[in-house]
């Protein structure tokens, strides 16, 4: 009798389990539903694949199918963001060169869409130019960051002279080293002076003779190590006195000077 009772109970449990499966199959989020649709995401605004943009800023917008609850995105080699309901994002202070954007959607159940990717290029600076690279650093108080100062798209450059101003209450310079652009010469001039009390940096760098008295293209003039000492964002700006010179000591017109920014997290 007891054995028959357990067989009957097992049959009831199986019946209920089958009933549960039928109910779940009517759920649009259940992959077992014949009408189930996987989550979808589409980029609806922003540069197209391979597009070259002439601004250091870009905005992406995206959307999913009706049942999508969350999205996440990734810019360049950064980590994925947390899942959220956000459907647009603007990126500022973009450096020259190649960039990528990726986005993915998710159902409440955890099912995820395929990743949508866009690669594009920024060409926002017209040379000859003097510019910070990267344009922006994010750091915490006590952290150090390194900026390069680039000569961008120059022709027959032999010497560069410039000054940079910064707020010594927020950042301090810990070192300045010569970049590689004049490394083609056996000899060069490299003079720097910085004052963390006044918030000033002066630089003179040049090729001194040699078989190749000038360089063309884009390269690093100096590298600056910066220490963040305050929980306040701070700009590093060119003073307006910057000069490029050719082998005959003629001035080369600098069309743009692009400043740097430290954002404190």
Confidence of residue 27 (pLDDT cuts 50, 70, 90): low
Is the pLDDT at 238 greater than 60, yes or no?
A: yes
Q: Answer whether residue 133 shows pLDDT above 80.
A: yes
User: Against a cut of 0.85, is the pTM above it?
Assistant: no
Q: How confident is the model at residue 16, as a pLDDT? A: 44
Under 8 Å CB-to-CB from 233, ≥6 apart: which residues? Answer: 170, 261, 262, 263, 264
| Domains, the chain, ordered by start | 41-122 (2.60.40.10), 129-264 (2.60.40.680)
pLDDT of 11: 47
Question: Is the pLDDT confidence value at 23 over 60?
Answer: no
pLDDT at 19 over 60: no
Compute the average pLDDT of residues 60-72.
96
For 87, the token pair is 């459907």
């Amino acid at each position: 009798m007891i054995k028959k009772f357990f067989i009957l109970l097992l049959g009831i449990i199986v019946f209920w389990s089958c009933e549960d499966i039928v109910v779940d199959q009517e759920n649009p989020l259940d992959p077992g539903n014949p009408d189930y649709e996987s989550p979808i995401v589409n980029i609806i605004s922003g540069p197209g694949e391979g597009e070259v943009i002439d601004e250091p800023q870009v905005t992406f917008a995206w959307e999913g199918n009706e049942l999508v609850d969350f999205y996440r995105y990734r810019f360049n080699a950064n980590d994925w963001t947390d899942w959220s309901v956000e459907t647009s994002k603007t990126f500022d202070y973009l450096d020259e060169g190649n960039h990528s954007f990726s986005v993915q959607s998710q159902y409440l159940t955890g099912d995820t869409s395929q990743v949508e990717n866009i690669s594009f290029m920024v060409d926002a600076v017209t040379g000859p130019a003097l510019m910070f690279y990267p344009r922006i650093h994010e750091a915490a108080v006590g952290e150090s960051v390194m900026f390069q100062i680039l000569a961008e798209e120059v022709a027959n450059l032999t010497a560069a002279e410039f000054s940079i101003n910064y707020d010594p209450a927020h950042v301090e310079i810990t070192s300045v080293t010569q970049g590689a652009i004049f490394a083609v010469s056996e000899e060069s001039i490299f003079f720097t002076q910085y004052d963390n009390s006044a918030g000033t940096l002066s630089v003179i760098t040049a090729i001194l003779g040699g078989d190749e008295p000038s360089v063309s293209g884009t390269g690093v003039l100096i590298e600056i190590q910066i220490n963040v000492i305050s929980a306040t964002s701070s700009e590093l700006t060119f003073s307006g006195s910057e000069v490029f010179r050719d082998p005959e000591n003629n001035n080369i017109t600098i069309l743009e000077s692009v400043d740097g920014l430290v954002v404190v997290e």
